[in-house]
Amino acid sequence: MVPEDYDVVIIGAGPSGIGAAAVLAEYPLKVLLIDENNQIGGQLWREPAHKPANRFRDSQGSDLQLDLRAAMGTKMNNLHIISPACVLGVFPEKHILLSTSDESVKEIRTRRIIFATGAREKVRPFNGWTLPGVMTLGAAQILLKYYGVLASSNILIAGAGPLIYLLSSQIIGAGGHVTAVLDRSPAITMLNTKWLTAGQLSKIGQGIVALGRLIKKRVSIKHRMQVVEVKDQGKLQEVTVGKIAPDGTIVQGSQKRYETQILAVGNGFVPNIELPQLAGCDLAYAVDMDCWIVKVDSSMETSINGIFAAGEITGIAGGDKALIEGRLAALSILKQFGKLNSKKHRIQKTALLRKRKRCQLFGTFLYRQWAIYPGEWAEIDDATIICRCEDITMGTIRDWIKKGISSASELKRATRCGMGNCQGRTCGPLIYDILAAYSIVGKQGPPPLSVRTPVKPIPLGMLSHLSS
């Protein structure tokens, strides 16, 4: 296998990856942008499937000036895009091994790497959350916006964060029926003035439009409501909810039942740090967000020289921060390559860092809505599944906590949590929360579960055909 050489490889083509590519593509550098999905855009900039993405707008509506069609043609032929492409491993001296859709494997050597791998959704478990009638908010949204499929005609929305309102509004716009919107955060958080200080006026606008639609359709919006159980009654799902107190307990006698077809639920997002972790980048536990992030300096450089991280993986705060950080990383690389003089770099960097700070405030505000209270874990039934891949229940985990395990790795060894197909992507964040709630580990966080090559499953036949 002859390695291909690049100046910069950007892993992940969501807002931060595309933002970085847009900046770098203006210079005579050999840049590779890859994404594991069939189309680029990540989760936030998905376009309907039949319309291949080639233009992107940031949330303020301004055109990114990145015409990716042209990138393949004459204008920016130094930008190569491969999607889908799955990174098998990142090795010392910036060697990357990729498998592509035709089952071939590429070996890439590069001078700089930008990790822009985004985030995935987190769900606070309850009895029945594994049923086919329950999916994440993102899953329902992808089906609707990307494939034009309403998961069903009646959908109950639960969880927290702006997405529950946005999704409900989108469902109504598509002609669907929203059974109710159950926001587990207190109503007062909607009036939080942090919206303004975070400079997120456009988001307020979006929020008002969404709410307006819901009010017009008389959709029931309830606050402080948490799903406690879902039962499959054939075509219908019976969803039991209860009022959640600030200490995380469910208020006695507050339980209500809803009948619906699909329950879409979400409690925020978790950064996809697996690849940077595998590459050896230092991680940090973000105490204000209860998640592991990649440690970066103000230039978005990680603990490894020449490796950068941008977007949700440095802290969950949405698409605007992701885009800003992608740009910041690209600018840092340009300066390192001598393509941008220090003064110009400093000016642009300062401006971007200012905007970034506002976005980070928004992120912290978001997290407060999503936060699972430590006291909730005691409420969760012994029978509730925590590790979905291996069907490991809360009861089994509690047993081992009593026996005296002291870390996520120990729990994994003892129970098999995290040993299934998803390798801890779904249950890992829950386990870190549980261990913190049971005071097994301090506020600085438990060490994350280890990551090994390959980071995603690969058929043995394909692996054995790699040319050497």
Partner 1 sequence: MAWKSVDVVVIGGGIIGTAITYFLSRQNINVILLDKSEIASGSSGACDGAVVMQTKKPGVHLKLALESHTLLNRMQDLLPVPIEYEKNGGLIVIETEDEKTAMKQFVEAQRLAGLDVELLDHKQLRALAPHLSDHLIGATYSHLDSKINPIALTLGFAMGAKQRGSEILTGTEVLDIEVEGRQVSAVVTAAGKIETRTVVNATGVYAPEIGRMLGIEIPIKPRRGQLLVTEVRPALLKPWLGSANYIAAKFNPKLAKDGAGGVSIDQTQNGNLLIGATREFVGFDKRTTVEGLKKIASRAVRILPDLKHTHLIRAFAGLRPYTPDGLPILGKVEKIKGFIMAAGHEGDGIALSAITGKLISELVLEGKTDVALDSFNLKRFSNDTT
Partner 2 sequence: MRIIQSIKNASGIRIDSLQRGREIVFFVNGRSTTAHMGETVHAALIAAGYRQFRKSKTHQPRGVFCGMGVCYECLVTVNQGPVQRACVTMVEEGMEVEIDGS
107 interacts with partner 2 by CB under 8 A: no
Q: How many residues bind partner 1 (CB under 8 A)?
A: 30
Q: Locate the DSSP E strands across 248-398.
A: 256-260, 262-266, 269-271, 283-286, 291-294, 307-309, 385-387, 392-393
402 is a contact residue toward partner 2 (CB under 8 A): no
What mask of x and - would describe binding to partner 2 in positions 151 to 180, judged by CB under 8 A?
xxxx-------------------xxxx---
Report d(CA 107, CA 84) in Å as an integer.
15
User: Among residue numbers 380 through 399, which ones bind partner 1 (CB under 8 A)?
Assistant: 390
Q: Are residues 328 and 299 in contact, defined by beta-carbon separation less than 8 angstroms?
A: yes
DSSP letters spanning 25-52: TTSS--EEEE-SSSSSSTTTT---TTS-
Partner whose binding site includes residue 135, from partner 2, partner 1, none (CB under 5 to 8 Å by kind): partner 2
Per-residue x/- track, 40-79, partner 1 (CB under 8 A)? ----------------------------------------
Pairing relation of β-strands 236-243 and 225-233?
A: antiparallel
CB neighbour list of residue 18: distance below 8 Å, 6 or more residues apart: 33, 40, 41, 42, 45, 56, 64, 66, 323, 326
What is the spatial distance between Cα 332 and Cα 345, in angstroms, rounded to a whole number? 8
Among 3, 73, 205, 459, binds partner 2 (CB under 8 A): 459
Nearest Cα neighbor of 110 from 134, 123, 92 is 92
Find the part of the chain contacting partner 2 (CB under 8 A) among 198-206, 210-218, 281-289, 381-389: 381-389
Rounded CA-CA distance 120/117 in Å is 10
Contact pick of 414, 425, 438, 441 for partner 1 (by CB under 8 A): 414
Judged by CB under 8 A, which stretch of 17-25, 242-250, 283-291, 389-397 contacts partner 2?
389-397
| DSSP code at position 9 | E
Q: Which secondary structure element, helix H or strand E, spans residue 136, and what is its range?
A: strand 134-136
Q: Can you tell me which of 54, 192, 303, 407 binds partner 1, judged by CB under 8 A?
A: 407
Q: Does 395 bind partner 2 (CB under 8 A)?
A: no
Query: In the complex with partner 1, which residue's Cβ is closer, 374 or 454?
Result: 454
Residue 48 or 212: the one with the smaller Cβ distance to partner 2 is 48
Q: How far is CA 47 from CA 17, 55, 81, 143, 223, in A?
A: 16, 10, 17, 12, 32
Residues binding partner 2 (CB under 8 A) = 36-38, 43, 48-51, 84, 120-121, 130-136, 138-140, 142-144, 146-154, 174-177, 232, 235-236, 259, 261, 385, 388-391, 420-422, 425-426, 457, 459
Residues binding partner 1 (CB under 8 A) = 88-89, 97, 390, 403, 406-407, 409-410, 413-414, 416, 419-421, 423, 450, 452-454, 457-461, 463-466, 468
